[in-house]
Amino acid sequence: MKILAVIPARYDSQRFPGKPLAKIGDRSMVQWVYEAAKSCSAFSEVVVATDSQKVADCVLGFGGKVEMTRSDHLSGTDRVAEVAQRYPEMTVIVNVQGDQPFVTPLMLTQLVAPYLAAETPPMTTLACPLDPDSGYLDPNVVKVICDRHHDALYFSRSPIPFYRNSGEAPVYQHLGLYAFSRDFLVKYAQLPPTPLEHCEGLEQLRVLEHGYKIRVCYSSMSVVEVNTPEDLAVAQLLVEQEVRSHS
């Protein structure tokens, strides 16, 4: 089995323009993500997908592989799907979000574990334990609830489920990493947007609304995502603390 990891890197982000090139320590964020993906032994190939020559030059500068894409894609997954067409020998395609500089090789391996076990889900994603105190009510923390087969029932920014009765529910914090079987990625790229996807601002709901399944894989931890300059400051502080602890 051959697995292609694609890192979509959009320079003109609305919330944080130039985000892929933002420095964390001595490296750009896209380099952090690329090096983490390259360290995952499950991946046959790792490429950065971008429509920006600035990002492409950065990737080539640190020795990475880059693919130029169209500039009119509405989502990172659409960008991933364009690149996947150029690699027909790959059977699984992974969308490694470019805003997760601290993603680990273990997390990426967990994401593709069903495929490595010869299973063929249309799509997988990653989740971790949800902190009920800080995450349950936070709309920036996406929740996912699962059925007994570890397939997603729903994703939401709202607190789900509603606990009319006390007890434990299969609710987790969703981590924005995705893997696709090649055939399903082609279908996904052709699916029209859906109402719940629009309401929640979560593109993975498009899959569920069209009747397809998403297998939820599990990680023991979450990692810092960088969506805003404030998040970048947190990431830089973490790196500085790590450097000090080893000095």
> What is the number of structural domains in the chain?
1
**Whether the Cβ atoms of residue 138 and residue 173 lie closer than 8 Å to each other:** no
Q: Is the pLDDT of residue 14 over 90?
A: no
H or E element at residue 79? helix 76-84
Tell me the average pLDDT of the chain: 93
Domain that holds residue 223: 3-133+174-194+207-246
What is the reported pTM? Answer: 0.93
CATH label of the domain that carries residue 88: 3.90.550.10
**236 within domain boundaries:** yes
Q: Is residue 99 situated within a structural domain?
A: yes
Residue 61's CB is within 10 A of a number of other CB atoms, namely 10
- From 29, 42, 41, select the one nearest 97 (Cα to Cα): 29
pLDDT tier for residue 13 given thresholds of 50, 70 and 90: confident
CA distances from 114 to 38, 88, 197 (A): 20, 21, 25
Tens digit of each residue's pLDDT (9 = 90 or more) over 28-63: 999 999 999 999 999 999 999 999 999 999 999 999
**Is position 168 within any domain?**
no
User: Band of the pLDDT at 247, cuts 50, 70, 90?
Assistant: low
Does residue 111 sit within a domain? yes
Residue 158 lies in a domain: no
Tell me the C-alpha distance between 49 and 209, whole Å: 27
**What phi and psi values does residue 245 have, to the nearest 5 degrees?**
-70, -20
Q: Which carries the bigger pLDDT value, residue 12 or residue 238?
A: 238
The position carrying tokens 């603390």 is 241
Q: How many Å from the N-terminal Cα to the C-terminal Cα in the chain?
A: 42
Q: What are 160-219's pLDDT values in tens digits?
A: 999 999 988 999 999 999 999 999 999 998 999 999 999 999 999 999 999 999 999 999
